[in-house]
Amino acid sequence: MDQEVAPNINLPVPRTEGTVSVESTLLKRRSVREFQDGPLSLESVSQLLWSAQGITDSHGYRTAPSAGGLYPLELYIVVGNVQGLNPGIYHYRPKQHRLDLIVNGDLRRELCKASLSQEVIQQAPVVFVIFCVFERTTVKYRDRGVRYVFMEAGHAAQNLCLQAISLGLGSVTIGAFSDNEVARILKTDKGYAPIYIIPVGMAY
């Protein structure tokens, strides 16, 4: 069951052509843990969300592969400084390419504390959090489905990191955090487990 939601934000249509090669994003990707001040555009955030979990054809298939097409991932953002978005927590809806507001207010500090006080989380203008619902995949693949879900999160995360590079941004993939605390702060439903935290911003 999904949460009760407040206002929806329709996102700008994502670009499907770019000027930066895949090879060059692979070459330049590096974990970035310090970001410049200043806002990110809503276009960049839209593009990043699409790169991780966007729908790419009329059958509902997405940018990242998914075992059995069961799509166990749920993508959230913790917004601090994005043009056109109030600080808060938002849930990405791939089908509508839309954000649903979950919580109002800047929660980056709390999320930072829940993640061994890794400062980059507090500093980033936007922080992506990949959650999963294991049951969507284990119902078909049983125990083996657990590894499939983690693999899939890796695909989505890498898409996002490479897309960040092509937008002139930096990111870091963070796995060290308290699962319970992260789920509490983002007010996710029972059964949603956080896998990855990915702060994104303008590198120095």
Ligand X SMILES: Cc1cc2nc3c(=O)[nH]c(=O)nc-3n(C[C@H](O)[C@H](O)[C@H](O)COP(=O)(O)O)c2cc1C
| First vs last C-alpha separation in the chain | 41
Instruction: State the nearest-atom distance from the C-beta of 42 to ligand X, in Å.
Output: 27
Q: Collapse the DSSP code of 135 into the 3-class scheme (helix H, G, I; strand E, B; otherwise coil) and give the result.
A: helix
Q: How far apart are CA 33 and CA 171, in angstroms?
A: 7
Q: Which secondary structure element, helix H or strand E, spans residue 158, and what is its range?
A: helix 144-166
Residue indicated by tokens 């993939």: 173
Q: Tell me: does residue 119 bind ligand X (CB under 6 A).
A: no
33 vs 98, beta carbon nearer ligand X: 33
Contact 186, 16 (CB under 8 A): no
For 114, the token pair is: 């829940």
Q: Tell me: does residue 30 bind ligand X (CB under 6 A).
A: yes
Query: How many residues appear in the chain?
Result: 204
Q: Which stretch binds ligand X (CB under 6 A): 29-37, 56-64, 92-100, 140-148?
A: 29-37
Q: Which stretch binds ligand X (CB under 6 A): 63-71, 103-111, 137-145, 168-176?
A: 168-176
Return the ∠ at Cα 189 (arms to 89 and 141), rounded to 5°: 120
Query: Which listed residue (25, 44, 122, 173) binds ligand X by CB under 6 A?
Result: 173
Instruction: State the nearest-atom distance from the C-beta of 149 to ligand X, in Å.
Output: 14
Q: Tell me: does residue 26 bind ligand X (CB under 6 A).
A: no
Query: Which listed residue (46, 51, 53, 118) binds ligand X by CB under 6 A?
Result: 118
Query: Which listed residue (31, 86, 104, 180) binds ligand X by CB under 6 A?
Result: 31
Site for ligand X, rule CB under 6 A: 30-31, 33, 118, 172-176
